[in-house]
Amino acid sequence: MSQNLDNLSVGTHLFSKRALLYGHIRINSCVLPMICCRLRTRVTRNCATVDIPTVNGRFPGPTIEVNEGDKLIVKVTNKQQYPVTLHWHGIKQFKTNYADGPAHITQCPIQPNKSYIYEFTVNDQRGTFFWHAHVNWMRATVHGALIIHPKKTAPYGEVEGEIPIIMGEFFGLHPNVVELGFINTLTPVENKTSLASTINGFPGSFFNCSSATKVYKVKKDKTYLLRIIDAAINSDHYFAVANHSVTVVAADGNYLKPFETAYVPMSPGQTTEVLIKFDKPRGRYYFGMNAGPVPTVGAPPPFVPAVAIMRVQTPVPPPFVPMIDTC
């Protein structure tokens, strides 16, 4: 299964003990699918339109879901003008440090029109991680969730569903151009700080020129696991759900003693897993994240929160069908 889109093609091979879900592709044992990616996608956020590097034309990129103990093989073919690597943030890389991804440390960058294969096994790790580019500031838009499902049931038990939440930033410029504004003070660059914070790539209706706020449907009185990832470049963030508290159960791939809180502070590169029970009256509840100050940047980040909506609805019972035909 293969296609060619534009500027980057990535083949992903997952060897699994059972069926996995990779984005919208279901992967069974010994099936080697090809997914397609590109590194220039035109997006508009907060009144700014810009061509940014992406994977699969998506910002953020696709979620990779594997099982603890799986082998992950990713072939990256770089068809953009800049070199690139991919880093598997938080993965310990037992005896596979060459697959870690930091440019000029564990590998040379993948040059334009060249390919590289990452191959490693996710042993003795489970939880929420993420992958991102590791050359210059390309990770601002080239990133996605990496979920490792545990061999044993998690200590917090079963949940109704899981929702990945990737917190990010939108600069309105190519991320490499923004980085040059920090390095070369003789050629200042506007928008050195982000124009907007984002949740799964979108800032929400509180920002200018925004499309409709994203809505996530959940069931009343059910418990969900939120997998929160801070993929931002500069800003710390604070995550909260209106009129709800959350229970923190894991951080950076490690289970924690559960504790309840009204909000979750996070820094770039951190991941946190929280449980939330939607036991309030049926309706629509904002959830969002706000950015904290970044002293080293010299300019404030956007203090308008990025938002989305949890739509709490009552499960609809199936229609009654008589088991005995009385006619």
Which of 42-56, 254-268, 286-300 is the least confident region? 286-300
As given in the structure block, the two tokens for residue 96 are 């596979």
Alpha helices in the chain (DSSP H): 175-183
CATH class of segment(s) 162-313: mainly beta
Q: What one-character-per-residue DSSP string does 212-246 give?
A: PPPEEEEETT-EEEEEEEE--SS--EEEEETTB-E
Check residue 140 and give its pLDDT. 82
In the chain, the largest separation of any two C-alpha atoms, in whole Å, equals 88
Rg (CA), the chain: 21
Check residue 277 and give its pLDDT. 96
Q: Which amino acid is at 32?
A: L
Is residue 39 within 8 Å of residue 84, measured between CB atoms?
Answer: yes
What three-state secondary structure class fits 179? helix
Question: DSSP letter at 303?
Answer: -
Strands 71-78 and 8-15: antiparallel
Question: What's the whole-number mean pLDDT along residues 23-32?
Answer: 30
pLDDT tens digit sequence for 177-203: 555 555 555 455 554 566 778 889 888
For the chain, the residue count is 327
- Residue 295 pLDDT class (50, 70, 90 cuts): low
Question: What's the whole-number mean pLDDT along residues 255-264?
Answer: 96
31 CB contacts (<8 Å, ≥6 apart)?
Answer: none
Residues of the chain with CATH 2.60.40.420: 8-154, 162-313
Q: Which amino acid is at 252?
A: D
Check residue 135 and give its pLDDT. 84
Q: What is the CATH number of domain 8-154?
A: 2.60.40.420
User: Which has more pLDDT, 297 or 71?
Assistant: 71
Is residue 272 within 8 Å of residue 261, measured between CB atoms?
Answer: no
Q: Which amino acid is at 259?
A: F
Question: What's the whole-number mean pLDDT along residues 200-222?
Answer: 82
Residue with tokens 């229609």: 319
Report the mean per-residue pLDDT for the chain.
78
Is residue 166 within 8 Å of residue 130, measured between CB atoms?
Answer: yes
9 CB contacts (<8 Å, ≥6 apart)?
Answer: 2, 34, 36, 37, 77, 79
